[in-house]
Amino acid sequence: MITAKGEEFVRKLKSQEVSLHAVSGRAVADLVASGELGASPTASAAMHRRLPPTAPGLHGFPMDLVPTNAGTVSLPISAPHPHAAVLLIDFMLSPEVQTIFEKGQQGSPAKDYGFKRWYPEEGMNSEQYDKASTQWEKLLREIGRN
């Protein structure tokens, strides 16, 4: 949000008494569905699809820009069986497994969901990402009520 809208925009959110919840996306969706939270930009469409169709007051609205991350698959430099690890990674990225993720309502980066994806960390090295992440965490704590 800082990158897309600017820090002043984010600071204005404080007047809306934003509450922070250290819970899963599904738990946030449950809180919205139960009426305990009025809205959340962090409850994903995949989480909404898992709720019962009768969940009251739960509607998704597409955003102009959907911040996401590219995700990662990592291979430790000291993996005891690096060739087996590469095979597992290849399998995890295969169309067959992406289909399994989609059936399990986890979503897949290979599928076009009809919205523009934006990767705010694109082009950053790990040091730049850590700095940006620290800045965001600090601002989030400032604007969020406890």
Domain ranges of the chain: 2-66+135-143
Q: Residue 64 and residue 131: Cα distance in Å, rounded?
A: 26
Burial of 29 (0-12, 13-18, 19+ CB in 10 A): buried
80 has pLDDT over 90: yes
For 42, phi then psi, to 5°, come to: -105, -5
Amino acid at 111: K
Q: Which residue has the higher pLDDT, 119 or 77?
A: 77
CB atoms within 10 A of CB 30: 19
Q: 46-77, pLDDT tens digit by residue?
A: 666 666 666 665 666 666 666 666 667 788 88
pLDDT in tens, 24-35: 777 887 887 777
CA dihedral 136, 142, 143, 146 (to 10 degrees): 120
pLDDT at res. 85 = 92
Sign of CA dihedral 54, 25, 63, 117: negative
**Average pLDDT of every residue of the chain:** 77
